Amino acid sequence: MIKSKVLIIDDEIEFATTLCQRLKLRGMAAIDVHSGTEGLVSLVKMNPGIVILDLKMPDMSGLDVLAKVKQHDPSIEVIMLTGHGSAEAGAEAKEKGAFDYIMKPVDLVKLVDKMELADEKRSKA
């Protein structure tokens, strides 16, 4: 069971809301926001252990948000999501501190598996 709070930052409102609801059904404390700016505000208020972060958003790049998350608290594990991307974008995100990345459409079981690994890593830190 994932103990960390989960913050979902994705400009695709329907996707983010549905993902949040599905994580809550699995007993997780999760909230979703729909821009990088909202995500950074929620980061301070919520103090999540895991952030699910879209790579491309209109207001700011997911990589920029990643940098600010890691600056705020390096122990927060970030899983990047990309629907626009490539393995290169995911590799760049991992170089910049992301725990991992997943291509959209997201397989919920695969995402939860990665979240469990991220939560385990965080609890050992």
pTM (2 d.p.): 0.95
Does 118 map to a domain?
no
pLDDT tens for residues 55-71? 999 999 999 999 999 99
User: What is the domain-level CATH number for residue 16?
Assistant: 3.40.50.2300
How far apart are alpha carbons 79 and 67 in whole angstroms? 13
Does 122 map to a domain?
no
Domain hosting residue 25, numbered range? 6-107
Cα 121 to chain centroid distance, Å, stands at: 15
Does 117 map to a domain?
no
Q: Flag whether pLDDT at 85 surpasses 70.
A: no
In this structure, the number of other CB atoms found within 10 A of the CB of residue 120 comes to 13
User: What are the residues facing 52 on neighbouring strands?
Assistant: 8, 79
Domain count, the chain: 1
